[in-house]
Chains A and B, each alone.
Chain A
């Protein structure tokens, strides 16, 4: 007999038993210990059919293949660039992944990306040792010029982006700003000072209220009120 020990969307702490029984399966953020399914991090427990999983609520960014992230160039070498990813690991971008332009042997690579530059790039591979390769080839991937970068909790990024990008679109429209959201918790914003602040405050509001119901409507109302002023 399977017994689910937790309510759906209940916050669980590491070590807490989420369910007992062999016909439920341990999903992300959980492990099986004999009959029990146990949380192995702090998270929101979800029952998804026969699977019990945890949605992570906190913690630093863990690099994943396919993620679009915002990085800073921290080193320029012979064959490519080293990028800071806002995680425990840096990423490598090789010349062939950096540009479709032909680069002469021995060329000064800083003419493409210089130290301190920020780029929107995509992770193409993460090894078990956490070596990360990124590419600049793909839609929306580019060097960021001007604007400003803020840091948010990477676990809140999906809410900031919204369904099919609806939330971030709403902020962009209301604040007439350019925004790029990196899945590593770095967000680039380019707008007039007043709108920049509104965009940031809106993002902070989403971050703080990310688990409340009806967030999209709430944010819509917030932006309408602020823009009218």
Chain B
């Protein structure tokens, strides 16, 4: 059996429906939410703010700290135990690495910018949704940054290359699967997150990245609109 068409009827290069909103958490310095299909991420930015403990302070530039956390009820299966897992720690790390290149942290010596990503509901692609939300939240926080960051997962299911795998595709059993989350900086035109698990040939991967970049450009337009909508002048 081969994978002929997507279960939810999407085109191979089509993402699930996306919804984005900026300024959703009043107490934060910047915030946003990003929904893609059934995956839903909030991001809140606090900072630049005083950094403790003091030995972490860097007089040359500020520190970006990211934390990715799934709410206990956010998984389709069993309850997620609160308190970080090895998985959530690793995702926090790659999130930080994917956002760091756009920030001019030299503007904020000795301080910290904290990004908290929380997921109330997940179904594949949660790290990418988190990065999309975080990037909008950083912009909303008025931080000095060179670009936004857009992220999506691309991958291979059987012999098809596709964009934004959902859970059923990630767990497809009748053929090889590869899942490749990428983050892309649309104006800098570089990639800041790349992971892969599964089986894929180099040529296929390069093609996937190309497809991912295209999908990211669409996500970028949505992020831009959400940011502009918050600040739109009401006449």
Point out residues on A near B: beta carbons under 8 Å.
Answer: 9, 11, 13-17, 31, 38, 40-42, 44, 56-60, 87-90, 128-130, 155, 209, 211-213
Contact = CB atoms under 8 A, between A and B. Distances in A.
A130 B146 contact: no
A155 B142 contact: yes
B199 to A, nearest CB: 35
Interface in B134-148: 139-148
Counting chain B CB atoms within 10 Å of each CB, the highest count among A17, A87, A130 belongs to A130
26 contacts: A9-B233, A11-B227, A14-B148, A15-B102, A15-B145, A15-B185, A17-B187, A40-B104, A41-B145, A42-B140, A42-B227, A44-B231, A58-B140, A58-B141, A59-B29, A59-B30, A59-B142, A60-B141, A88-B111, A88-B112, A89-B110, A89-B111, A90-B50, A129-B59, A155-B142, A211-B231
Given A60-B29, A60-B47, A88-B49, A212 B145 contact: no
A101 to B, nearest CB: 31
Contact of B102 (A14, A60, A128, A155): A14
A14 B146 contact: yes
Interface in B170-192: 185-188
Given A129-B59, A213-B235, A40 B146 contact: yes
B48 interface: yes
B228 A59 contact: no
B47 A38 contact: no
Interface residues of B, number: 38
Interface in B104-127: 104, 108-112
Nearest to A42: B139
A41 B111 contact: no
A90 B49 CA distance: 10
Given A15-B146, A59-B142, 13 more contacts: A11-B227, A11-B228, A11-B232, A14-B146, A15-B188, A40-B144, A40-B146, A41-B145, A42-B227, A59-B29, A88-B47, A89-B50, A212-B235
Contact of A58 (B62, B109, B142): B142
Nearest to B135: A14
Contacts of A89: 50, 110-111
B228 to A, nearest CB: 5
A213 B233 CA distance: 9
A31 B102 CA distance: 13
A14 to B, nearest CB: 4
Contacts of B234: 209, 212
Contacts of A60: 29, 47-49, 141-142
A88 B142 CA distance: 14
A150 to B, nearest CB: 14
A212 B234 CA distance: 7
A17 B220 CA distance: 14
Contact of B148 (A13, A31, A88, A128): A13
A165 B81 CA distance: 55
Contacts of B59: 129
Counting chain B CB atoms within 10 Å of each CB, the highest count among A40, A155, A209 belongs to A40
Nearest to B111: A88
